[in-house]
Amino acid sequence: MSGSSLDGLDVCYTYLEESRGQWKFDIQYAECMPYEEEWSEKLAHAQHMDAGNFFKFHSAYGKYIAEKVNDFIVRHSIQHRVDFIATHGHTVYHDPAHHTSFQIGDGATIAALTGLPVISDLRAMDVALGGQGAPIVPIGDKLLFSDFDYWLNIGGIVNITVRDGEHFKAFDVCTGNQALNALAKNEGKDFDEDGTMARRGKLLVAVLGQLNDQAYFRRDAPKSLSNDAAMELVFPVLMESAHLNVDLLRTMVQHIAEQVAVVTEKFPHDKGFAKMLVTGGGAFNNFLIETLQQVLQPQQINVVVPYEQVVKFKEALVMALIGALRWREETNVLHSVTGAGRDSISGALWMGHSYS
């Protein structure tokens, strides 16, 4: 899969095992294959292409994914050990209000070039059923990480899964690494490693107030953010500001932590202490994690950052689970999360080989 931070293509090879409804996983190999600048630029601007060039790019990106997967398979010597490929692709257009969401990376092309079954278009069925098509990761929170009470992913966009009685709810919380990385790039860095620059900055109370005062944060779930919508929430406030980048980074970190705390306060736990699993690139930002823990302490929520493979590849792992559930024709997207009319078995299946 590829996320909104545009750092690269995440590829994860995992064993999945189900016994009496209990799922286990074992990540065998996983890596992020960084994008060349040309691909990052094309992906970032794909939604502005005319129709003809857009569909050509859809096929070209499918070819790109297939080549990277073939290379991954050869380097890790897992030929004849892959049952199928589940691919999320890269979201370039997301407008669930009009029953539309599109992830590029043509599944038929991937199947044709790898010779393997491919499960793609993982969001389309939910959107057709009136859902947000996002987030779809909560099925993995439910089946693979059930020991936790909250599940937070800090990627380009911050999203969270919470328990609401017997049901799970999940939604996009706020802008994340999209903004942090953009501010770091103003200082000549790809990202703010360990949150070092943010730690040096001072909190801009007035700017924090502007960031927090957005209509999106007052909307009830289900709700989701496209890449552009996430940028529009904060980029005008941050990028048109005359303040120092370190101060803006410090303030953006506080904004993320406070918006997460607003969510957990709306969905309180009933334990002495609850556990929040934190994954995604932001989990490596030590200052952000410290700030998050500090803000959540009054709610008696402990922040847990798992081992590195899960932090980096949880979403790719869950795409594999979604593919496995689709293969078994079992529910893989939860309507309580997305707002769809019902749960769904989502994903298009492309057979990469012939039976003749």
**Residue 31 pLDDT:** 95
> Which residue spans within 253-347 are E strands per DSSP?
274-279, 301-304
Mean pLDDT for each 10-residue chunk of the chain (356 residues)? 85 97 96 94 93 97 98 97 97 90 96 98 96 90 95 93 90 94 94 96 97 95 86 92 96 98 96 95 96 98 96 95 98 93 97 83
- At residue 46, the 3 state secondary structure works out as helix
Q: Please count the residues of the chain.
A: 356
Other beta carbons within 10 Å of 28 = 13
d(CA 299, CA 297): 5
With 0-12 / 13-18 / 19 or more C-beta atoms within 10 angstroms meaning exposed / middle / buried, residue 119 is buried
- At residue 353, the 3 state secondary structure works out as coil
d(CA 278, CA 291): 13
d(CA 117, CA 77): 18
Question: Helix %, strand %, coil % for the chain, to 5?
Answer: 45, 20, 30
- Tell me if 136 sits within 8 A of 102, measured CB to CB: no
- Residue of 315, 183, 177, 313 whose CA lies nearest to 256: 177
Q: How far is residue 163 CA from its own chain's centroid?
A: 19
CATH 3.30.420.40 residue window(s) in the chain: 8-133+316-350, 138-310
- Tell me if 120 sits within 8 A of 281, measured CB to CB: no
**Residue 135 pLDDT:** 83
Q: What is the DSSP string of 116-141?
A: S-EEE--SHHHHHTT------THHHH
Domain 138-310 - what CATH class? Answer: alpha beta
**Residue 355 pLDDT:** 75
- Tell me if 252 sits within 8 A of 218, measured CB to CB: no
With 0-12 / 13-18 / 19 or more C-beta atoms within 10 angstroms meaning exposed / middle / buried, residue 213 is exposed
**Residue 354 pLDDT:** 81
Per-residue exposure over 140-178, b if at least 16 CB sit within 10 Å of its own CB, e if not = bbbbbbeebbbbbbbbbbbbbbbbeeeebbbbbbbbbbb
Other beta carbons within 10 Å of 342 = 12
CATH number of 8-133+316-350: 3.30.420.40
Supply 169's token pair: 């709810």
**Residue 259 pLDDT:** 98
Which residue in this structure is represented by tokens 């992906």? Answer: 43
Supply 323's token pair: 């593919």
**Residue 3 pLDDT:** 80
